[in-house]
Amino acid sequence: MSLRWFIIHMSIRRKVTLLLLVPCGVVMLLAVTVLFAFQIRMFSEGHHREMSAVADVITANSTAAVAFNDGASATQILSSLHAISHITSAAIFLPDGTPFAAYGQPVGAPIIEVEERYFRQGNDAFMIHPLTLEGKQIGTLNIRSNYQAAHAGMLRLMAGMLATILVIGSVVGALLSNWLQKLVSKPILRLTSTAQAVADNNDYSVRAKVEPSGELGILTRTFNQMITRIQSQEIALLASQGKLEAILNSIGGVVWEADAATWTVNFVSRPFESMFGYRVDDWLKDRDFWMNIIFSGDRTRVLEVSRQAIAQKNSFLIEYRVRASDGRLVWVRESVSVEVADDRSARLRGLIVDVTEQKAAAENLERLNRRLLEVSRLAGMAEVATGVLHNVGNVLNSVSVSVNLLGDRLQRTRVSNLRRATNLLAEQNGNLAEFLTQDRQGKVLPEYLIRLSEFIETEQTEMQSEVRLLTQNVDHIKEIVARQQNYAKVSGIFEQIDPTELVEDTLRINGTAFEQHRVTVVRDFAPDLPRVVVDRHKVLQILVNLARNAKQALDASRPDGKILTFRIERTDEGKVAIRVRDNGVGIAPDALNRIFQHGFTTKKDGHGFGLHSGANAAREMGGCLSAHSDGPGCGAEFSLELPIAPKTTDVDGKPIPAMPVNGLASGGVLAADAPQTFQI
């Protein structure tokens, strides 16, 4: 409760009054004090001077009286001193000390002085003044004054006057300051009451009275401008708030906002009521309200997810069930964004959408999907069977060729000739030497036997190689069967293989057929080819299929000049392309469009499966299969693009994952940039 505190808490009126009064009072007091001190000092000097002057006058006037020994005149002159109240007595003494004239009470013992002397003794002041005539002292004037009384009187008078001045000054100052302070405080008070009215009633239509000029004029004007701006902003704010609320309420979901630390909710949009049958205030007043209406089976999960997301400052999406006021369970999807301030989760904003219907629909869909999956599985098994039959059939072609060949050979074998030779030798019955040396037949027999054994040897070699091929094909069949047994496991074993090796294997499998049908095979392999990462058997299946298709296309077109070109090169996309080109019948554009579709075929005995499964397999390995033809009679080219083994990968190599493909889905045809080129 210091003075400063007291002043600070004063009203502005008091402050201004104080401001005017205090300096005024202090100055006045100071002036009065100085004056008082000055007067006290001046009094003593003034008293001396006055006594001196009085003595001068009295002596001047009484010189003649003394000179002419006129005591009466002198007494008369002295008696004029009664006009000066503080002079109590006076006397003129002759040089010998005899009194000549006197006034008032006895002045005391005569004091004779040659020079004027002023001195104070006790309460009195004395003035001693010589009377001279023509340089000769003819008497001495002694004047006695009651100094103390005069001094006290002066002090009283002074004090009275100064007090009066102070009082009058204060009154005038107070009146003036009261009048002046109004000039300052009145506009401020008016402005204050206006501001108060604005603050109390939130009424921005109120305006302060504008002062004509000065800082207060600026203040009131700017205050009014401010109020006007606030008013227009408030109107705009209300409008946009209304708009925002309308928008929020029109959303088919509940929008809410809460503090991240306390979970106190400060906004919930209106649809909350229609969606769950509770009132908005229920949640606004009780922050746990929402958690309490969450289905008890989901509550823990929602809490955990929310806490974790807030801790990690991540937004999150969660679905759970809420118990509505009528008891039904509502499935909701809630997306909550976490606003981060000062590196800390500060605010949560959520959107709750009723997904009960979607949930039901999703469940339906899932049921349908499951059924579809079962159907698909069955269909898939049929496809697998078709694939197996096709691939096995392809290889079986070669097997049957080999078997026929072996049959032919065995039929045409010279073993019967050997039997005939051995029978001939047996018929000789001990005359073997003679037979061999004398008989015409016997003489050529050894030569014949040698030639026969050579022939048989050659035949055996040929048949052995054919049998080896046969064995290889049978192995291939076994492989196909084994693979199809594990069809669910889509990806097989990936290995890094030289692409030329793949082509050579293909040619080996189809080799006899090409020879029989007089097909010229051209190898056009680019140098320094990288290895590819593929499932060998899948690639072989594709290539064998392509080769067989090409051979059939060539058979259908011309009796001779059949050329089948195998070209291997790198593509711009960083893959290795194996292109199988024939100059056969070619493909019509509309057929080219559908060539990879399941079940499409131009052959009488075709399944319409080979190219389809080949394209799928190529895609599974991360490659693709495409077809190109300039039209019927112009031949066709099939390109199998395969991924290259990464150079950094070690030789054992981690398997390169195949592109995720739904093995059961039917293969689609994707349009490519070239008009007649289709890629899978």
Q: Which residue has the tokens 């008032």?
A: 104
**Strand 136-146 relative to strand 316-323, pairing:** unpaired
93 and 142 in contact (C-beta within 8 Å)?
A: yes
Task: Decide whether 50 or 257 has the Cβ nearer to other proteins.
Answer: 50
Task: Decide whether 137 or 472 has the Cβ nearer to other proteins.
Answer: 137
Which of 19, 112, 149, 158 lies at the binding interface for other proteins (CB under 8 A)?
A: 158
Distance CA 350, CA 257 (A): 6
Find, among 239, 340, 238, 322, the residue nearest to 277 by Cα.
322
Task: Decide whether 71 or 632 has the Cβ nearer to other proteins.
Answer: 71
373 forms part of the interface with other proteins (CB under 8 A): no
DSSP element (H, E) containing 321: strand 316-323
Task: Decide whether 77 or 658 has the Cβ nearer to other proteins.
Answer: 77
Q: Which residue has the tokens 């302070």?
A: 181
Task: Decide whether 133 or 670 has the Cβ nearer to other proteins.
Answer: 133
Dihedral of CA 490/492/497/502: which sign? negative
Q: In this structure, what token pair is assigned to residue 346?
A: 């500060």
**Strand 636-643 relative to strand 575-582, pairing:** antiparallel
Task: Decide whether 48 or 517 has the Cβ nearer to other proteins.
Answer: 48
Could you tell me how many residues make up the chain?
680
71 forms part of the interface with other proteins (CB under 8 A): yes
157 forms part of the interface with other proteins (CB under 8 A): yes
Shortest Å, Cβ 228 to other proteins: 58
64 forms part of the interface with other proteins (CB under 8 A): yes
Task: Decide whether 156 or 518 has the Cβ nearer to other proteins.
Answer: 156
Shortest Å, Cβ 123 to other proteins: 17
SS3 of 339, please? strand
Which of 143, 154, 208, 547 lies at the binding interface for other proteins (CB under 8 A)?
A: 154
The CA-atom distances, in angstroms, between 245 and each of 82, 258, 270, 287 are: 104, 17, 8, 21
Shortest Å, Cβ 131 to other proteins: 12
Residue numbers 451-480 binding other proteins by CB under 8 A: none
Which of 12, 161, 188, 195 lies at the binding interface for other proteins (CB under 8 A)?
A: 161
Task: Decide whether 32 or 644 has the Cβ nearer to other proteins.
Answer: 32
Binding mask 104-143 toward other proteins (x if CB under 8 A, else -) reads -----------------------------xxx--------
Which of 39, 178, 356, 472 lies at the binding interface for other proteins (CB under 8 A)?
A: 39
355 forms part of the interface with other proteins (CB under 8 A): no
Which of 77, 90, 248, 625 lies at the binding interface for other proteins (CB under 8 A)?
A: 77
Shortest Å, Cβ 90 to other proteins: 12
The CA-atom distances, in angstroms, between 449 and each of 37, 411, 413 are: 173, 20, 14
Q: What is the biggest distance separating any 2 CA atoms in the chain, rounded to whole angstroms? A: 234
Distance CA 128, CA 115 (A): 8
Q: How many residues bind other proteins (CB under 8 A)?
A: 39
Shortest Å, Cβ 161 to other proteins: 7
54 forms part of the interface with other proteins (CB under 8 A): yes
Find, among 338, 353, 342, the residue nearest to 259 by Cα.
338
91 forms part of the interface with other proteins (CB under 8 A): no
Strands ordered across the beta sheet of 562-570:
519-525, 562-570, 575-582, 636-643, 624-628, 677-679, 670-671
Find, among 653, 677, 502, the residue nearest to 576 by Cα.
502
61 forms part of the interface with other proteins (CB under 8 A): yes
67 forms part of the interface with other proteins (CB under 8 A): yes
Which of 1, 6, 68, 115 lies at the binding interface for other proteins (CB under 8 A)?
A: 68
Neighbours of 124 (CB within 10 A): 18
Selected range binding other proteins among 71-79, 174-182, 266-274, 598-606, rule: CB under 8 A: 71-79
Across 89-112, b (16+ Cβ under 10 Å) vs e yields bbbbbbeeeeebbbbbeebeebbe
49 forms part of the interface with other proteins (CB under 8 A): yes
Which of 3, 8, 83, 199 lies at the binding interface for other proteins (CB under 8 A)?
A: 83
Shortest Å, Cβ 124 to other proteins: 17
Which of 85, 232, 465, 516 lies at the binding interface for other proteins (CB under 8 A)?
A: 85
Shortest Å, Cβ 173 to other proteins: 19
533 and 653 in contact (C-beta within 8 Å)?
A: yes
Selected range binding other proteins among 58-66, 463-471, 510-518, 615-623, rule: CB under 8 A: 58-66
76 forms part of the interface with other proteins (CB under 8 A): yes
Distance CA 139, CA 59 (A): 9
Distance CA 549, CA 218 (A): 98
Find, among 133, 146, 144, 142, the residue nearest to 111 by Cα.
142
Selected range binding other proteins among 77-85, 418-426, 438-446, 662-670, rule: CB under 8 A: 77-85
Chain positions contacting other proteins, by CB under 8 A: 35, 39, 42, 46, 49-50, 53-54, 56-58, 60-61, 63-65, 67-73, 75-77, 80, 83-85, 133-135, 150, 153-154, 157-158, 161
